[in-house]
Structure 1
Amino acid sequence: MLGSVLDPLRSVVVAACSAALVLAGCSQPSSPVPAAPQPAAQPAELTRFYEQQLSWGSCVDYAASASDRAAFDDEALECARLEVPLDYTEPDGRTAHIGVLRQRATGDRIGSLLVNPGGPGASGMSLGASMSRRLASSPLGQRFDIVGFDPRGVGASTPTIDCLNDAEWEVERADLDVDPSPTGVAQTEAENQQYAQRCTERSGGADVLANVGTRDVVRDVDILRHVLGDEKLTYLGYSYGTRIGSAYAEAFPQNVRALVLDGALDPEQTTVQRTVDQNAGFQKAFDAFAADCATQPDCPLGTDPARATATFQALTRPLIDRPAPADGGARTLSYPDAVTGTIQALYLSDFWPLLSGGLSALASGDGTILMRLADMYNDRDQDGRYGNGIEAFVVISCVDEERITERAEQGELIRRSNEAAPFRDDGRGVVAALDPCAFWPAPPTSEPHTPRVQGLPPTLTVSVTGDPATPYQAGVDLAKALSGSLLSVEGAQHTVALQGNRCVDDIVSAYLVDLRLPPDGARCSLAPTPGG
């Protein structure tokens, strides 16, 4: 296994699961945003990249999955590849190509709306295709080209991050790494060192891994902005996509028109504190699920929410020694997959009934539902093929995040994480093995800091009170750091903008189209949780 510090608690695209969201507590936008400074001049050494012309065509050949092949087979969509320097300090050296998908505005065009779903490692082209369909007849679809891009190394972009083949992925998912002895720690570290080596060899070399982080993505975004013909950037980023947005604001404040940042990462927070807080967020979501489940007939966690964590542990920990059959015996559910499937369902309260059914099935000896949830999380399709989303998560995190190289520090982080989220504690003790980032061939290119931005127009941060992956306070802190507006949303899910809640969507749309911000203290609410 890769180690608990880099468990990819990434964002998921939840647009298809938002039917239960309703209008509640909507606040009307207030005054327009004042005009921002003129855009910055482009660097002379990058002129050939800024002045390139994209060759737009069919999107079918850009699909990285079966679901993308179906979604991209749409005449309203057009795709291209943007050429950028692999290493911005050597603009005449190797280049990378960024996959870009676009649906043109159907009315009086303002410009492009760039969207990113987060991760890191999730496909912006996939999100762009999904949002284009949903927004085609909306004011946003009428006024903006909807543009999704795969950040460098992700999806259709090249060089593409590649660490494991499909067979190796199956082995990885079944690998327990629960032995805290020196022998067990050494074995896990050897696996993680091999993982780093495979990523280096299969992704195109150490220079690819050195330049795949957010520092370089924001420079790619600025080139894309200009090539699309936009004087200034209009951007919507979810989860890790908020890091791209805030880093862009810091690097190119003069080039920003509007930023919506939903499900924020706090740029000041250390990796250790973010990991602990995120685990606490998932425990909070688990507790909310357990409380709801207790009101339902035949809840697999029982009728006492205070005992739900212990009941979950009793249900899942035996899988360490005896995996459960899944898919009629064709596959087996491991302990790590049971926890991963549970985490996947905790991203969105609409998934709670499915999680309840999966835990009930597991109690009867069938791991199929939890296995399917874990497949969704791990980017595995029905034919057993894996996308590169989780691999990209690890690789990008290794160059974006602080690095832990001491076992004692690693062990303390795992101990604190288990304490924050006991539902996912295997009970075997802390395995203080260094994760793959400790063996990375390149140093980090980012560090936690307070954004220092001058000349940035007002931004809009959206934060959900019960968000398990990116806790509410991080949104409060990011809005403050950018001196922007905050929209608070009462609910229990990860991200919410343009996913069907009229209150949220009206405010976001008014800001993106008319640059009108909500009043201070603006709040919306989602529908009651299942059973609530």
Structure 2
Amino acid sequence: MEPHARNRRLVKKAAGALTLGSAVLLTACTSAPASTPPGGLDRFYEQRIAWEPCEDYATTSIETAVFAAAPAAECGRLMVPLNYREPAGKTARLAVMRVPARGEAIGSLVINPGGPGGPGLFAAAATSLGHAKTPLTESFDLVGLDPRGVGKSEPAIDCFSDAEADEGNVLLSTQGTTVQWTEADTRAIVDRCAERSGGADVLAGVGTRDAARDVDVLRAVLGDEKLTFLGQSYGTRLGAVYAEQFPQNVRAMLLDGAIDPHQGTSERRIGAFAGFQRSFEEMAAFCVTQAVCPLGHDPDHATETFHQIVRPLYETPVPALNSELSYDEAIGGVISGLYTEAAWPRVIAGIAQLPQGRGDELLQLNYDFALRDAEGRWTNFTEALYAINCMDEERLSETEGDELRAAIFAAAPFMDPGVTLTGARDGCEHWPAEPTLGYPYATDIADLPATLVVSITGDPTTPHAGGINLAKTLGSALLTVEGEGHTIVTAGTNSCVNAIAADYLIHLELPPAGSSCQL
């Protein structure tokens, strides 16, 4: 789950970079007809997807290239009710990608890359490439769904234009930023999103509980009696909520980079930003081993040195690419690079540019993280993240928002601008519907088949403790991965993780208690 949503320059990382002895035999997977649909939903559960080429399902040239690299991929539309309480009312058309198995398929593997707001189509295509020679692509049709409001699904959440995003004017959250809003500002944002997205009922219909119901419709339409699911980051929330609502329909569920279902909004966000501080300090320790380090040669003072370099941007942005880099965008570029250890050298290079009066590398890190293409097209990740969180997260008063921002800067002092800020209003305060998720969620689920949680010890945004707690809550097996980074399974780069994921998802064999892998 992404804790920072300051603008459309700060979005979910590419699925291609995302970042699956006692064995337990579970229920076998078949492609038998789906179970009886819930009342009034027959037309949705009994529909058939008209599969076609995926060219028209890309939103950027980056997606176009990745889709083309998965030539067997086919795409289509899944119709679902906009409001499940009114199944005869308005509908949404969700974009779906299927990459057929290279061998004889035992069923579908539905993938959600996180966010919320991450594009499932991109995740399915990228996972098929990352696992091109592994048992997963041999045994499963890989399926990606752009959840309601996301990507090429219709209607999609749309609050700002690409040109406005390039200008750096797309602001959707105060937390972790220096943004100071009035009530008129937050009302205007919601009104704008409603107008551009198709109405207030669209904004009210993007919560995780409805998205989980969409996954069950997808399961049935794909012809799978039971769901096999791989969720990463926010996808672990989506999976847990699906398990809560449809435990009888779960075959296997692998949850990677887990969110703690017991933590409310404020506690979880503080913990996530504390994770980024830890990763910043790990990066600083790496930096001092290099010939040139802009953070100095004492990692214990790296935060103070970073402040000297970055805080002047609060008053005076610097030129960057064809735009400029503000303080919030500089912090966003650093955070984007902290998701994976492989990006640390780029973060260090970007910090080194700032005293020279340039912000190119940090802004490019934002662009790359957002999947903004060379033509200036953006995905709608941040807008969808904002809208889905408005339907999931607890609402805060302005006072609570100010207190949370102060607590975030205390937990992640490298982000602290060193100025007095107010106006940390909740961007959802005028949302047209109340949140529907509720905390805690997915607790005391009866008769849930055995599941698997994968958690990296140095995860910067979904801390390892959250993985431990989710595993306890669901009664899952836990695979601990020693190292730095956020999510690992879809990348297909770690042979230890690959083998354990395949044993579970294909053969339904869980790893022994205490199992671990190394990055």
- What interval of TM-score do these two structures reach, taking the shorter chain for normalisation? over 0.9
**Secondary structure of the corresponding residue to residue 237 of structure 1:** strand
Are 1:398 and 2:390 matched, yes or no? yes
Cα distance 1:315–1:448, how it changes in 2: closer, same or farther (>3 A)?
same
1:432: how far off? 3.4
Cα distance 1:225–1:125, how it changes in 2: closer, same or farther (>3 A)?
same
- Residue in structure 2 matched with residue 412 of structure 1 by the alignment: 403
- Residue in structure 1 matched with residue 250 of structure 2 by the alignment: 256
Counterparts of 2:4 and 2:335 in 1: how far apart (Å)? 15
Are 1:509 and 2:495 matched, yes or no? no
Counterparts of 1:429 and 1:170 in 2: how far apart (Å)? 28
- Residue in structure 2 matched with residue 63 of structure 1 by the alignment: 58
Instruction: Please tell me the residue identity of whatever aligns with 1:82.
Output: L
Counterparts of 2:200 and 2:18 in 1: how far apart (Å)? 39
Are 1:268 and 2:269 matched, yes or no? no
| Contact 2:349 2:361 (8 Å CA) reproduced | yes
* Matching of residues 419-498 of structure 1 within 5 Å: 419-450=410-441, 451-498=443-490
- Residue in structure 1 matched with residue 219 of structure 2 by the alignment: 225
Cα distance 1:248–1:313, how it changes in 2: closer, same or farther (>3 A)?
same
1:281: how far off? 0.5
1:377: how far off? 3.3
Instruction: Please tell me the residue identity of whatever aligns with 2:511.
Output: P
Q: 1:286 aligns with which of 277, 280, 291?
A: 280
1:315: how far off? 0.7
Q: TM-score, normalised by structure 2?
A: 0.93
**Secondary structure of the corresponding residue to residue 488 of structure 1:** strand
Counterparts of 1:346 and 1:501 in 2: how far apart (Å)? 19
Instruction: Please tell me the residue identity of whatever aligns with 1:317.
Output: R
1:64: how far off? 1.0
Instruction: Please tell me the residue identity of whatever aligns with 1:408.
Output: T
Q: How many residues align?
A: 506
Instruction: Please tell me the residue identity of whatever aligns with 2:329.
Output: D
Counterparts of 1:201 and 1:174 in 2: how far apart (Å)? 16
**CA-based RMSD:** 2.3
Counterparts of 1:175 and 1:443 in 2: how far apart (Å)? 22
Are 1:320 and 2:311 matched, yes or no? no
Report the more deviating stretch, 362-371 or 338-347.
362-371
- Residue in structure 2 matched with residue 123 of structure 1 by the alignment: 119
| Contact 1:103 1:132 (8 Å CA) reproduced | yes
- Residue in structure 2 matched with residue 47 of structure 1 by the alignment: 42
Instruction: Please tell me the residue identity of whatever aligns with 1:105.
Output: A
Counterparts of 1:498 and 1:200 in 2: how far apart (Å)? 34
Counterparts of 2:78 and 2:11 in 1: how far apart (Å)? 26
**Secondary structure of the corresponding residue to residue 247 of structure 1:** helix
Counterparts of 2:319 and 2:58 in 1: how far apart (Å)? 32
Report the more deviating stretch, 365-374 or 511-520.
365-374
Counterparts of 1:67 and 1:516 in 2: how far apart (Å)? 36
1:365: how far off? 1.7
Cα distance 1:391–1:347, how it changes in 2: closer, same or farther (>3 A)?
same
Counterparts of 1:228 and 1:503 in 2: how far apart (Å)? 30
| Contact 2:13 2:370 (8 Å CA) reproduced | no
- Residue in structure 2 matched with residue 13 of structure 1 by the alignment: 14
Instruction: Please tell me the residue identity of whatever aligns with 2:14.
Output: V
Report the more deviating stretch, 289-298 or 190-199.
190-199
What CA deviation, in whole Å up to 9, does each residue of 1:292-343 have, x standing for no partner?
A: 111111101010111111111111111122211122xx32111111000000
| Contact 1:173 1:334 (8 Å CA) reproduced | no
- Residue in structure 2 matched with residue 114 of structure 1 by the alignment: 110
Report the more deviating stretch, 246-255 or 125-134.
125-134
What CA deviation, in whole Å up to 9, does each residue of 1:29-78 have, x standing for no partner?
A: 73423679x98532131001000011001100111111111222354111
Structure 2 residue ranges without an equivalent (≥5): none
- Residue in structure 1 matched with residue 80 of structure 2 by the alignment: 84
Cα distance 1:174–1:358, how it changes in 2: closer, same or farther (>3 A)?
farther
| Contact 1:487 1:524 (8 Å CA) reproduced | yes
Instruction: Please tell me the residue identity of whatever aligns with 1:250.
Output: E
- Residue in structure 2 matched with residue 213 of structure 1 by the alignment: 207
Report the more deviating stretch, 382-391 or 299-308.
382-391
Are 1:305 and 2:311 matched, yes or no? no
Counterparts of 1:396 and 1:382 in 2: how far apart (Å)? 28
1:168: how far off? 2.5
Counterparts of 2:5 and 2:74 in 1: how far apart (Å)? 35
| Contact 1:279 1:420 (8 Å CA) reproduced | yes
**Secondary structure of the corresponding residue to residue 392 of structure 1:** helix
- Residue in structure 2 matched with residue 530 of structure 1 by the alignment: none
Instruction: Please tell me the residue identity of whatever aligns with 1:13.
Output: A
Counterparts of 1:162 and 1:127 in 2: how far apart (Å)? 21
Instruction: Please tell me the residue identity of whatever aligns with 1:496.
Output: I
Instruction: Please tell me the residue identity of whatever aligns with 1:449.
Output: P
Counterparts of 2:36 and 2:444 in 1: how far apart (Å)? 20
1:11: how far off? 4.7
Counterparts of 1:303 and 1:325 in 2: how far apart (Å)? 27
Counterparts of 1:211 and 1:255 in 2: how far apart (Å)? 23
1:16: how far off? 3.8
Are 1:191 and 2:185 matched, yes or no? yes
Counterparts of 1:402 and 1:75 in 2: how far apart (Å)? 42
1:430: how far off? 3.0
Counterparts of 1:34 and 1:72 in 2: how far apart (Å)? 33
Counterparts of 1:452 and 1:388 in 2: how far apart (Å)? 35
1:116: how far off? 0.8
| Contact 1:462 1:487 (8 Å CA) reproduced | yes
Instruction: Please tell me the residue identity of whatever aligns with 2:13.
Output: V
Instruction: Please tell me the residue identity of whatever aligns with 1:83.
Output: M
* Matching of residues 94-109 of structure 1 within 5 Å: 94-109=90-105
Report the more deviating stretch, 234-243 or 69-78.
69-78
Q: 2:361 aligns with which of 369, 380, 396?
A: 369
What CA deviation, in whole Å up to 9, does each residue of 1:239-286 have, x standing for no partner?
A: 000011000000000100000000011111100100100110000000
Instruction: Please tell me the residue identity of whatever aligns with 2:307.
Output: Q
| Contact 1:358 1:369 (8 Å CA) reproduced | yes
**Secondary structure of the corresponding residue to residue 436 of structure 1:** coil
What CA deviation, in whole Å up to 9, does each residue of 1:344-392 have, x standing for no partner?
A: 0000000001111111122222211011012223443222222100110
| Contact 1:173 1:336 (8 Å CA) reproduced | no
1:498: how far off? 3.6
1:188: how far off? 4.4
| Contact 1:162 1:202 (8 Å CA) reproduced | yes
Report the more deviating stretch, 39-48 or 89-98.
39-48
1:137: how far off? 3.3
Instruction: Please tell me the residue identity of whatever aligns with 1:437.
Output: C
Instruction: Please tell me the residue identity of whatever aligns with 2:185.
Output: E
**Secondary structure of the corresponding residue to residue 428 of structure 2:** helix
| Contact 1:11 1:240 (8 Å CA) reproduced | no
**Secondary structure of the corresponding residue to residue 331 of structure 2:** helix
1:176: how far off? 12
Are 1:384 and 2:385 matched, yes or no? no
- Residue in structure 2 matched with residue 529 of structure 1 by the alignment: none
1:191: how far off? 2.6
Counterparts of 2:4 and 2:490 in 1: how far apart (Å)? 31
